Chains A and B, each alone.
Chain A
Amino acid sequence: MSLSSIDPVIWFFLFGLFAGVMKSELRLPSQIYELVSMLLLLTIGLKGGIELARQPFGVLLPQIAVIVAMGFLLPFIIFPVLRYVGKFNRPDSASIAAHYGSVSVGTFAVAVAYMNTRNIVFEEHMALFVVLLEIPAILIGIILSKGMSKDTQWSKVMNEVMLGRGVMLLVGGLLIGWVSGPTGVESISPLFFDLFKGILALFLLEMGLITATQLSSLKKYGLFLFAFGILTPIVFSIIGIIVGTSLNLSTGGTAILATLFASASYIAVPAAMRISVPEANPTLSLSASLGITFPFNIIIGIPIYYAFSQYAHNLL
């Protein structure tokens, strides 16, 4: 692999990481970061929505059902590992399980960019899966931490999750893309689609800076968390490959689904867990999802998952 084969957006991430580790003054103004992440979420939603407009929704229902079921299932797979191998207390195990059961939009965006650069086709409606996978893990995380306890205010939790910025923007983009269709969206495509890679580069620059702040806390939690942060995405990606091929997704689509399964949330879930499972230590889950899994996925993971997907599709 030559250096120029690495996507420039990844260099932006590494640049941010380097600047952060060196304690540079560099940072994206927080309003700009908010705008950039907003544009990313809307773009991803719009792309998915346009694709939804192209096909009858009923065809997707089986896929949707499987994806939602996986969203509920994934946290259960890792919870016992965290609890009994990692020896974390119950709230911490539940919170980390929720982070890894949910998805990272940033990782998804990098996977989309990876496929686009290589002209690999994938099902653009995968953006819908991002929304579907974001939420179930949060509910499971809360249940794992305190059971179906009466003092969980479920309506409040759902309110926070559904009305949170990430879900709102994704769903909003999906709906606008859906009702406008491919030709309708053309007038706004310069901002959302043509600038996608540039926006992603800025976003990853800030992500690099943020990741650098997690590295110091990582040292405290040691080897288990490090191994967990790398092995979980690999195992989950394999589950994603199996699910993707059984759903007859394309090679690119399967790789993206694997990436979604492999990714861990660092925006929606931390906020939801902080509110609903306040006993859990937020530094623990964030240093794993952001300090280890996010960089692993975008730098090494995505090419591996694509290779897995090619291998699986060749077997069939």
Chain B
Amino acid sequence: MKNENAKLITIYTESVLESRLIDDIEEHGAMGYTISNAKGKGSSGSRAGSWEANSNIRVEIICDANFARHFTQHLQKTYYDNYGMVTFTSDIEVLRPQKFCAQ
């Protein structure tokens, strides 16, 4: 089996956006995603994760370069003005790339 190149989008943002992001991810046609709870500190202040209004999530999406470009642009346009959000894309290698990217 051979590793293939893919992209990993990682998003840190406010928990309230969870259901919205899930809708967005599905509308953009990703095959899957992983969401976990997160806490930390950044330019929007400290997010201790102790209760609803103060918790963060980390969203990870494995996808192809095309999806990564479109989706991060969408995030920037929709959320960056008013929400605490950090997004980055990394190059990764995966087995079974067809599992992650609608070809």
Least CB distance from B78 to A in Å reads 10
Q: List 22 A-B contacts (CB under 8 A).
A: A28-B50, A30-B37, A33-B50, A33-B51, A160-B19, A209-B50, A210-B50, A213-B48, A213-B50, A213-B54, A267-B52, A270-B53, A271-B16, A271-B52, A271-B53, A274-B83, A275-B16, A275-B17, A278-B81, A278-B83, A279-B82, A282-B53
Q: Which residues of A contact B97 (CB under 8 A)?
A: none
Number of A-B contacts (CB under 8 A): 43
B45 touches which one: A27, A28, A210, A283 (CB < 8 A)? A283
Please name the 5 residue pairs, one residue from A and one from B, whose CB atoms are nearest each other, closest first.
A278-B82, A270-B53, A274-B16, A271-B16, A210-B51
Residues facing B in A240-282 (CB within 8 A) are: 266-267, 270-271, 274-275, 278-279, 282
Q: Name which residue of chain B comes closest to A277, CB basis.
A: B82
Q: Which residues of A contact B50 (CB under 8 A)?
A: 27-28, 30, 33, 206, 209-210, 213
* 18 further contact pairs, Cβ within 8 A, besides A270-B53, A275-B16: A30-B37, A30-B49, A30-B51, A33-B51, A160-B19, A209-B50, A210-B51, A210-B54, A213-B46, A213-B48, A267-B52, A267-B53, A270-B52, A274-B14, A275-B17, A275-B20, A279-B82, A283-B45
A286 interfacial contact with B, CB 8 Å: yes
Q: Which residues of B contact A278 (CB under 8 A)?
A: 81-83
Chain A: residues with Cβ within 8 Å of the partner, total of 20
Q: Which residues of B contact A279 (CB under 8 A)?
A: 82
Q: Which residues of B contact A275 (CB under 8 A)?
A: 16-17, 20
A266 touches which one: B14, B49, B53 (CB < 8 A)? B53
Q: Name which residue of chain A comes closest to B52, CB basis.
A: A267
Complex-state Cα separation, A83 to B71, whole angstroms: 37
Residues facing A in B14-66 (CB within 8 A) are: 14, 16-17, 19-20, 37, 45-46, 48-55
Q: Which residues of A contact B48 (CB under 8 A)?
A: 213
Q: Which residues of A contact B83 (CB under 8 A)?
A: 274, 278
Given A160-B19, A271-B16, A286–B82 Cβ distance below 8 Å? no
Least CB distance from B42 to A in Å reads 14
Least CB distance from A300 to B in Å reads 24
Q: Which residues of A contact B52 (CB under 8 A)?
A: 267, 270-271
Q: Which residues of A contact B53 (CB under 8 A)?
A: 266-267, 270-271, 274, 282, 286
Least CB distance from A282 to B in Å reads 7
Residues facing B in A191-232 (CB within 8 A) are: 206, 209-210, 213
Q: Which residues of B contact A267 (CB under 8 A)?
A: 51-53
Q: Which residues of B contact A30 (CB under 8 A)?
A: 37, 49-51, 55
Residues facing B in A109-141 (CB within 8 A) are: none
Least CB distance from A153 to B in Å reads 10
Complex-state Cα separation, A304 to B75, whole angstroms: 49
Q: Which residues of B contact A274 (CB under 8 A)?
A: 14, 16, 53, 83
Least CB distance from A63 to B in Å reads 30
Q: Which residues of A contact B51 (CB under 8 A)?
A: 30, 33, 206, 210, 267
Complex-state Cα separation, A270 to B52, whole angstroms: 9
Q: Name which residue of chain B comes closest to A283, CB basis.
A: B45
Q: Name which residue of chain A comes closest to B45, CB basis.
A: A283
Q: Which residues of B contact A210 (CB under 8 A)?
A: 50-51, 54
Least CB distance from B12 to A in Å reads 16
Complex-state Cα separation, A270 to B55, whole angstroms: 12
Q: Name which residue of chain A comes closest to B15, CB basis.
A: A271
Complex-state Cα separation, A267 to B14, whole angstroms: 14
Complex-state Cα separation, A270 to B19, whole angstroms: 16
Query: 0/1 per residue, A152-183, Cβ < 8 Å to B?
Result: 00000000100000000000000000000000
Residues facing A in B52-98 (CB within 8 A) are: 52-55, 81-83
